Structure 1
């Protein structure tokens, strides 16, 4: 297909397609003549992945490039692809305090989790602990065990999906598909969890307190 058709089918402007190609996110099409380039359905699928990571996952282009490089590196183990995807997720600008990091590490050890020191989740948890302390709500630390139990369930589901991809790749399947499962599950999974949490919060509040659904105030 020509770039105009690729743009129409993907919903991505031709200027963005060319930009993604220059930045290495999208493989170049096949030159078939002067000022003529042909693209395939693989380019279409790649564009949809790029836009999902940007539009839904909220990743900047530079982070998408790092993630896709990991996907495109056949010798990179899927566990390392997971690490790249985790580090690509948006993080708080201000670094957490050393005390909060120590508290986060202590909680992780107490819960029985084993992770490396550079796991970005440690910084995220520590940042929340600092935030609670800053507003005088350290009592909210009491929710951590329940949140950790929920995280265990979600993590098990994530690993099950990745394991299915690994088995498929080992049986002659597409390794790139397994790597994409890791990336999409990690990046879009954060948004999925946030959405499900909002839904569950309203349901739980309604069940417990008989509250009416809130009015949508997103528009005047």
Structure 2
């Protein structure tokens, strides 16, 4: 177990907790108080750690994801289980039915883009909540105004799924989906801000009062 801890970077007490909770299968017993762990344990441990630490999942939700990816699911179902288990980027407001029209704009956008998004997707409510927050500060967007952003998101999704090409193992797919979803989101947000700074320099540099970077 100490070697498993060293290679994974996960403390031994945490590994023991995962074992007790059934998130990690027991190792092969070699003595009364010793067990041997292999590469499969290392992969599983990294996935558990990513789900809990990066994905913000509870132990129960993590167990559900692990049970799901252990079943003979296709790539679409595996990605769905992984994505829907993760926290939404925006917290859904209590009045998530969208009585203010935000939910209706989400439906319009999905229809306009021709996207397949299940009725049970938590992202519908999350997007409506995000639109509601924009509206509250006077920066509301309707489906037409969101469409260019949706086109960019669709292009990004195509790049993401290209990264999954050739993967057959469900654990590999789940791990890669987590990396692309959780770890890439702050990278993409940073790239967007850098691009905004560059675009602002191209459009507005020289107007006076330029103090950026000073």
TM-score interval, smaller chain: 0.7 to 0.9
- Deviating beyond 6 angstroms after TM superposition, the runs of 4 or more aligned structure 1 residues are none
Match of residue 133, structure 1, among 130, 135, 156: 135
Structure 2 residue 104 is the aligned partner of structure 1 residue 102: yes
Structure 2 residue 85 is the aligned partner of structure 1 residue 88: yes
Tell me which residue corresponds to 1:198.
Answer: 193
Tell me which residue corresponds to 1:49.
Answer: 47
Alpha-carbon distance between aligned partners in 2 of 1:107 and 1:140, rounded to the nearest angstrom: 8
Tell me which residue corresponds to 2:175.
Answer: 180
CA contact (8 A) 1:70 1:84 kept: yes
Shift of 1:79: 1.1
Shift of 1:149: 0.9
Query: Which secondary structure does the structure 2 equivalent of 1:31 belong to?
Result: strand
CA contact (8 A) 1:206 1:212 kept: no
Shift of 1:212: 5.9
Alpha-carbon distance between aligned partners in 1 of 2:212 and 2:144, rounded to the nearest angstrom: 27
TM-score, length-scaled by structure 1: 0.78
Q: Residue by residue, what CA displacement relative to the aligned partner does 1:98-130 show, whole Å, maximum 9, x if unpaired?
A: 432122101211222232212222112111111
What is the CA RMSD across the aligned residues, in angstroms? Answer: 2.7
CA contact (8 A) 2:102 2:128 kept: yes
Equivalence map 1:1-220=2 (5 Å): 3-73=1-71, 75-91=72-88, 92-95=91-94, 96=96, 97-98=98-99, 99-138=101-140, 143-165=145-167, 169=168, 174-210=169-205
Alpha-carbon distance between aligned partners in 2 of 1:141 and 1:205, rounded to the nearest angstrom: 25
Query: Which secondary structure does the structure 2 equivalent of 1:202 belong to?
Result: helix
Shift of 1:16: 0.4
Shift of 1:183: 4.2
TM-score, length-scaled by structure 2: 0.80
List alignment gaps of at least 5 residues for structure 1: 216-220
User: Aligned pairs, how many?
Assistant: 205
